[in-house]
């Protein structure tokens, strides 16, 4: 076992400042991820409504908008310097659960094309997995 020399007051202050900087970075990342998933939740609602109510033109606009949102979101996310612990799990949970809900909404709505009574609730339900993930991101960033 090696013995460690006691920290000087300056070293202790520097260590505490570093820990505080890391904590603030993680908290900011959690807030940023919550906004990220929130933006995708709103995008999902718009996409599903366009697909369900907009015919071929709506579907085309939905896909163009989704590709733009994903490109901007992923591109910007890649520039963020801090990552949450288990952030990969968070993304997997978000996108797998969203994909299942999205697929069920589209498949269930196929025979109901153009019916607002189906497509509005279906669109709102597709946002739920992404909004839940936004809440998880905030909680995980405070650990």
User: Splitting the chain (143 residues) into consecutive groups of 10 residues, what average pLDDT does each group show?
Assistant: 66 56 55 89 98 96 97 86 69 94 96 94 98 87 65
For residue 78, the 8-state DSSP code is T
What residues does each domain of the chain span?
A: 25-141
Rounded Cα gap, residues 134 and 4, in angstroms: 42
pTM of the predicted model as reported, rounded to 2 decimal places: 0.77
């Amino acid at each position: 076992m090696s013995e460690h020399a006691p920290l000087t007051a300056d070293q202790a202050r520097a260590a505490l400042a570093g820990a505080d900087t890391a904590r603030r970075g993680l908290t900011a990342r959690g807030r940023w991820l919550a906004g990220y998933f929130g933006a995708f939740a709103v995008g999902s609602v718009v996409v599903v409504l366009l697909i369900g109510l907009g015919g071929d033109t709506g579907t085309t606009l939905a896909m163009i908008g989704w590709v733009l949102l994903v490109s901007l979101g992923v591109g910007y996310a890649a520039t963020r310097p801090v990552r949450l612990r288990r952030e990969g799990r968070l993304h997997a949970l978000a996108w797998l659960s969203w994909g299942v809900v999205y697929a069920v909404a589209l498949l269930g709505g196929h025979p109901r094309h153009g019916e607002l009574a189906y497509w509005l609730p279906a669109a709102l339900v597709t946002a739920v997995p992404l909004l839940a993930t936004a809440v998880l991101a905030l909680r995980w960033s405070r650990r």
